[in-house]
Structure 1
Amino acid sequence: MWPRFGVKVGNSTLCIAHVKPTDTKPEVIANKQGDRVSQACLLWDGEDEIECGLTAKQKMSSKPKQAVANSFQFLRPVEDLKEELLAKAIKTIPCEYDSEKNMFILKAVQHKNDEEGKEVEKEISPFEVQVKLFQSELELARQYFSDATQKPIVVLSIPSYFPSKSWEILAQAAEKAGFHVAQIVDETTAAVLAYGIGEDITNDDTKYVLTVKCGGLLSHFALYEVRHGLYTKIECFGPFPIGGHQFTEELVKFICEEFQRKYKLDPHESRRSLAKIRTAAANCKHILSTLPSTQLYIDSLMDGVDFNNQMSRARFESLIQPVINSFMQILNDCVDKALKNHAELKKLDNIVLLGATTQIPKLQSAISNKYPDVEINCSISADEVVAVGCARQTLYLVDCEKILEPSEECECVAEEVAIWHGSEDDDENAQKF
């Protein structure tokens, strides 16, 4: 059944790409707003409707108690939701969370017949949130897959540090939404697949590829050995608590200080004001990844006072420099450790960037300057590369009639390419699919 689809799932965003057997490369599908990447958040209207995507994110600053964001980190079996993990995760979501039930608690005020507003609640699990998000991606897939009697075939991505049971939960959510899950690959593998690194090697040459992921909340790195079209993950580092959120927070601090200096009002006293600032800061960060400057305007930030400021890329880069320094220190330590642990590794051949945060020019230049002799693969948008890799993997699938469990082996027969994670000396902890 064609076309087939690849879906990247994350805390902050989702992305879907489609491919046909005759295509040279997969194509990303734009959503209703024309964006090639969708926001991984939803908002409850207080009654029966739940909105997903950009609309939900735009309303989140004014209705935080009705919204769910950054929910993917909760998609784990209950026994894996440790106290330390929950303490950090809860700080990143706008709504309330019941750790005993593993439920998000959404609260809204209903107004009927001019009566005084009544607060209502709705409980929704991380699994149900993921189903809703997959349903929104399914709507995009149906633009290209018109057979209503069949489920579109999809390959999904998941961070490599998620437990094996999360792979099953993710597959079940996608199946319930209406997809047929043929395979799940981890994000870093999908990114390497997107570029097809090493597929043209016909001799005994070996390439070493480092994937650098910096997402919305976390970063992690993986090292691959590529030989004869075989990808072997020989080292994995992370996750580390540095992501787009930390870059955004530096801009949030600047806005709060500027506003307080100009108007003697402290936005920290209002949760709604802070939500508005974070939304504006995130938008500003994305714009400055492509443009040299932007206007930072927040309507009625606090007590009816607007905030208006011209933000240049140079100023933004000076604000985030401490975060970049911390990120590069962690990356350098991981590379040094890999070189020490693997005597056969003399140098890196490729670095693959994934995660929207790696699109920040200052971060890209820091990586390029540190590793000048390494080829940096960033021609595919870093927040689309995982979906592209997943879609490309569907070209190699033969039997799509069952869900692949993460513990199973799968050999991709096109050009005799196999994906294999682990080392020959560590069969117990290897991941094969």
Structure 2
Amino acid sequence: MSTAYGIHLGNSSGCLAAFTNGTAAVLANDSGDRVTPAVVALNGAEWEIGLPAKSGQPNSKAIIKHNKRLMNCDFNEEDLSYVETSSSCRIQNDEELVYEFETSETKLYSNPDNIATKIYAKLYTIASHAVQNEGDLKLVLAAPLHWSNASRERLVKCAELAGFDVLQVISEPAAALLAYNIDDLVEDVNVLVYRLGGSTCDASIIKVSNGFMSVEKNIFRADLGGQCLTKDLADYVAQEFRQKWKLDPHESRRAMSKLLHHADNCKHVLSTLSSAHVFIESLLDGVDWSQNVTRARFENIISSKISAYIEPAKKLIDSFEGKISKIVLCGGSMKIPKLQSAVASLLPEAEVLSGINPDEVIAVGCAKQAGLILDLPELSLSNTSTEVEFLGKDIYLKYLDQTIKLFQEGTAPFAQNICNVEAEKDIKDISFTLHENPENEQFAKETFNVENLSKPFKLKATLQPSNILLQVE
């Protein structure tokens, strides 16, 4: 079986996974890291992507971060302001969105699609070095649940320009469920998928029934992300530095940029270890800084924000009437044990799935989906962003003096329901009517001659994309 790939490109980082011989594995980049920063910088006249762009001397570079926000065709002024504030290049938004990269050596112009293509090209290089056989690199991408088809198409074009052959685009919550094989469960389950990334957060309740996934509820927040926790940790280190040296890093943009970079690294280390060492060379006025930070101290720093971070999930759970039996955690910030336990405490009886690194979950799910598609050569996906319309309302069937619920809201296309129809032996014709509500008028009617059918007989109803097919047998 050939190798299939999955990519999740977020606002802060990108992850590449490969599926081969029935197993999905995350591929490390040239720095040995399993996650690549979604940062692009122009350093002099040279483009840098990933870790080289994120580290080094910020003052000598023109940097763009959180480019994914502007890949959404429906971005707003808050998104534009957020990207511009966190980056060090100018953004022009007249007739067309343009980035202006200016360094001491040159000035270049680009746009969100070109930047995304550069990041995909970086991941393509990682994939091509890992693969042994020649040929197109088959890929499945993940996109946010609330993105339009036009936004998803932009992702596809960027990935294809980078060299990939895109098979399909799936939603991020669906990819998270695929990573844990929840789609293979026999029983019907409701799953809470909670994603907390670098700058955004979303919570979804997904119903899984016979391999079909339907989104019951979803909340998206563009103002919650792990960067707020990074800033709190950076402020703490800055306070310690100020108390000892009577110098305030907040007065220097360069110092705070270095401090935020090291605080982010420290935060990730504390997700797995009980302590982390912070060493910053020439933080301010040539003064070096060295400090140990314990996980207990970090958890104390962020404790006041925990309730705000779990609020979307709590709001979703409170508004949902069914039983939620599983929780899937994804997004880089969900590696923090304190946040994991806080979300788990909302549903004490639910199983928390965290066996895969949260910042790798969605990429692994995409890779598994790509492997499934390649394993079914007869499957043709002419449209990489095909949406399936699930039934939006309950459908009722009336005949004689009977009323039954034929299909419930959320039923998948081509589902069938077979009913046993009791009728008098001498009856010749029976009319069946369909209603969205038992009290409402019919929207469809079908009359069958049942004179020659043995009683009782069967009525088979098939839910089709544009109508309901009724058959008697």
* From 208, 214, 236, the counterpart of 1:226: 208
Aligned to 1:88: 82
Q: Tell me which residue corresponds to 1:349.
A: 325
Secondary structure at 2:182 match in 1: coil
Give yes or no for contact 2:278–2:293 (8 Å, CA) kept in 1: yes
Say whether 1:362 aligns with 2:338. Answer: yes
Amino acid at match of 1:183: Q
Where does residue 168 of structure 2 map in the other structure? 183
**Post-superposition shift, 1:254?**
0.9
Q: Which letter does structure 2 place at the counterpart of 1:143? A: H
> In the alignment, which residue of structure 2 is the partner of 1:193?
178
Alpha-carbon deviations, 1:76-107, whole Å to 9, x = none? 33xx2322332233223232222224122212
Counterpart residue number, 1:287: 269
Q: 1:86-125 counterparts in 2 under 5 A?
A: 86-100=80-94, 101-110=96-105, 120-125=106-111
The aligned amino acid for 1:108 is: T
Shift of the 363–301 alpha-carbon distance from structure 1 to 2, 3 Å rule, reads: same
- The 2-side partners of 1:431 and 1:216 are apart by 34
Tell me the equivalent position of 1:69: 65
Q: Secondary structure at the match of 2:207?
A: strand
- TM-score, structure 2 length as denominator? 0.79
Question: Alpha-carbon deviation of 1:234?
Answer: 1.4
CA–CA distance in structure 1, aligned partners of residues 90 and 245 of structure 2: 32
Task: Answer yes or no: is the 8 Å Cα contact 1:234–1:422 preserved in 2.
Answer: no
CA shift, 1:423, in A, is: 5.0
Structural mapping, 1:22-421, within 5 Å? 22-23=21-22, 25-47=23-45, 49-59=46-56, 61-63=58-60, 65-77=61-73, 80-100=74-94, 101-110=96-105, 120-148=106-134, 150-201=135-186, 205-339=187-321, 345=322, 347-397=323-373, 398=376, 404-409=383-388
Instruction: Give secondary structure in 2 for the equivalent of 1:241.
Output: coil
Contact 1:199/1:228 (8 A) holds in 2: yes
Deviation at 1:405, TM superposition (A): 3.9
Supply the distance in 2 between the matched residues of 1:126 and 1:431 (Cα, whole angstroms). 36
The residue number in structure 2 matching 1:417 is none
1:372-406 deviation per Cα after TM superposition (whole angstroms, max 9, x unaligned): 21000000110111111001011322467765342
Is contact 2:166-2:384 (8 Å) kept? no
Whole-angstrom distance in 2 between the partners of 1:197 and 1:407 = 21
Higher share in strand: 2
Match of 2:440 in 1: none
Tell me the CA shift for residue 67 of structure 1.
1.7
Q: Which one has the bigger helix percentage?
A: 1
- Give the gaps of 5 or more residues in structure 1: 111-119, 340-344, 410-420
Q: Secondary structure at the match of 1:142?
A: helix
Q: Relative contact order (C-alpha < 8 Å, sep 6+): which is higher?
A: 1
From the CA coordinates, give the structure whose radius of gyration is larger. Answer: 2
Corresponding position of 1:115? none
Check the 8 A contact 1:246/1:323 in 2, yes or no. no
Displacement after TM superposition at 1:54 (Å) = 1.1
> Which residue does the alignment assign to 1:415?
none
Partner of 1:425: 393
> What letter is aligned with 1:40?
A
2-side partners of 1:279 and 1:369: how far apart? 31
Q: Which amino acid letter does the alignment assign opposite residue 230 of structure 1?
A: F
Say which is worse superposed, 171-180 or 231-240, in terms of deviation. Answer: 231-240
For this pair of structures, how many residues does the alignment match?
Answer: 396
Q: Which residue of 2 aligns with 1:414?
A: none
Residues 1:430 and 1:198: Cα distance change in structure 2 (over 3 Å): closer
Q: Is the 8 A contact 1:233 1:422 kept in 2?
A: no
The amino acid across from 2:258 in the alignment is K
The superposition leaves residues 195-249 of structure 1 with CA deviations (integer Å, 9 ceiling, x where unpaired) of 0115131xxx321101000001011011111111221111111124111111101
Distance 1:189 1:267 in 2: 43
Structure-2 separation of matches of 1:146 and 1:131: 24
Closer/same/farther in 2, CA of residues 365 and 408 from structure 1, 3 Å limit: closer
Q: Are the aligned partners of 2:177 and 2:183 in contact in 1 as well (CA < 8 Å)?
A: no
- Whether contact under 8 Å (1:7, 1:155) holds in the other structure is yes
- Please name the residue that 2:418 is paired with: none
Please give the alpha-carbon distance, in whole angstroms, between the structure 2 residues aligned to 1:46 and 1:401: 46
Identity of aligned residues (%): 32
Match of 1:11 in 2: 11
Q: Distance in 1 between matches of 2:302 and 2:225?
A: 12
Q: Deviations over 1:45-90 (max 9, x none)?
A: 322x312111111126343x4222211111133xx23223322332
> Displacement, 1:129?
0.6
Question: SS state of the match for residue 32, structure 2?
Answer: coil
Structure 1 residue 371, shift from structure 2 partner: 1.8
Structure 1 CA distance, aligned partners of 2:210 and 2:358?
A: 26
**Alignment partners' CA distance in 2, 1:105 and 1:335:** 44
Secondary structure at the residue paired with 1:31?
coil
Q: 2: CA distance between counterparts of 1:304 and 1:348?
A: 54
* 1:145-172 alpha-carbon deviations (Å, 9 max, x no partner): 3455x32110001111223211010000
- Taking the aligned partners of 1:43 and 1:430, their CA distance within structure 2 comes to 47
CA deviations 1:265-286 (Å, max 9, x no partner) are: 2222211111001001000000
**Which residue in the other structure is 1:113 paired with?**
none
RMSD of equivalent CA atoms: 2.4
Write the distance in 1 (CA, Å) between the matches of 2:59 and 2:224.
Answer: 27
Q: Are the equivalent residues in 2 in contact too, given 1:210–1:348 (CA < 8 A)?
A: yes
